[in-house]
Amino acid sequence: MPFGVEGSVRGGYGTGGRRYGPETGSEPMPLMSGELGEVLLPELVQMLALGGHTVRVVMYQRSGRVGELRIEGGRVRHCQADEFTGEAAFHHICCTVGWFEVYRDEAGGQDTISCSWQQLLFESARLQDEANRGDAFSAGDLEDLALDEPRERAASVLADLLRDPRTPSAHPVASPVAVPPPARLPRESRRPEDDGFEAIFGEAIYAYLCRELDEAEDLLHRCTELRPDDERVAVNLSRIAQRRRRRGKR
């Protein structure tokens, strides 16, 4: 059963025990609010996407509003942060520490993100891995990453989303919400427009997030047959090979 957003607010999650009442005046009341750090943006996205919600997530720091994310029917459609838009904006703020508010939203509006939420988390983890190793990455990919302790902890928790289950996390988080693992959706329940390459690629990302490397690799090879020149497939096959090599060294 998907986690209920409104139920979490009534329970006082992330609000210091505050119970929200009905909306008053022209200002809508948030469905949910909390601290980014206690719950991270990737965890929040996973929960809202699996629940199939249509919402707007607004993120703040002491300096004011720093970003906005729009989710429609469980699909991440738009992100804006500082001068960044789309996927670059999501990667820019994925480890933000501050607080968030979730508002009910209407379908429609600006679409700047076309990939699945699983791919967004996968790519954010990849960029963070590169940042932690000191690898070079292109402008706009976490280019302002000046890590203080809270952001470093947030980045580590993001990496934990993809860590091997046999390796204990160095930064356990006592989250007030038990976020479910990625749900393996029955093939017949997937949307018709997701058939073909994108559907198989999405399955591969699901498998990787569930740490099923053999299945992920097989699905990516199927993607190669459909689109031999797709760079995403080659990059992710390389990442799986690197992960296997790291396992072999233990």
Residue 134 is predicted with a pLDDT of 56
Residue 69 is predicted with a pLDDT of 94
Q: Assess whether 131 and 205 both reside in one domain.
A: no
pTM: 0.50
Reported as a pLDDT band with limits 50, 70 and 90, residue 170 is: very low
The tens digit of pLDDT for each residue in 116-169 reads 888 888 888 888 777 766 544 333 333 233 333 344 444 454 444 444 444 444
How far is CA 124 from its chain centroid? 8
Q: Assess whether 23 and 61 both reside in one domain.
A: yes
Q: Assess whether 72 and 121 both reside in one domain.
A: yes
Q: Show the CA angle centred on residue 160, arms to residues 167 and 199, nearest 5°.
A: 110
Give the chain's domain count: 2
Spell out the alpha helix ranges (H) of the chain.
5-10, 41-50, 87-93, 117-133, 149-160, 197-209, 213-226, 231-248
Can you tell me the mean pLDDT for 211-228?
Answer: 88
Q: Assess whether 119 and 96 both reside in one domain.
A: yes
The tens digit of pLDDT for each residue in 3-44 reads 344 433 333 333 333 333 334 445 578 888 888 877 778 888
Distance CA 114, CA 75 (A): 9
Q: Assess whether 120 and 160 both reside in one domain.
A: yes
Residues 6+ apart with CB under 8 A from 98: 35, 36, 37, 59, 60, 61, 62, 66
Q: Assess whether 210 and 157 both reside in one domain.
A: no
**CA distances (Å), origin 45, targets 12, 103, 197:** 19, 13, 24
Residue 55 is predicted with a pLDDT of 93
Residue 90 is predicted with a pLDDT of 92
Residues 6+ apart with CB under 8 A from 53: 5, 71, 73, 74
The tens digit of pLDDT for each residue in 98-128 reads 899 999 988 777 899 999 888 888 888 888 7
Q: Assess whether 179 and 192 both reside in one domain.
A: no
Q: Assess whether 157 and 113 both reside in one domain.
A: yes
Distance CA 103, CA 150 (A): 26
> Which residues form the domain of 170?
1-183
Neighbours of 126 (CB within 10 A): 17
Reported as a pLDDT band with limits 50, 70 and 90, residue 82 is: confident
Where among 135, 154, 183 does a domain terminate?
183
Question: Does 190 score more than 70 pLDDT?
Answer: no
Report whether 103 contacts 28 (CB < 8 A). Answer: yes
Q: Sheet holding 32-36: strands in order across? A: 32-36, 98-104, 55-61, 64-72, 75-81, 84-85
The tens digit of pLDDT for each residue in 51-75 reads 888 999 999 988 888 899 999 998 9
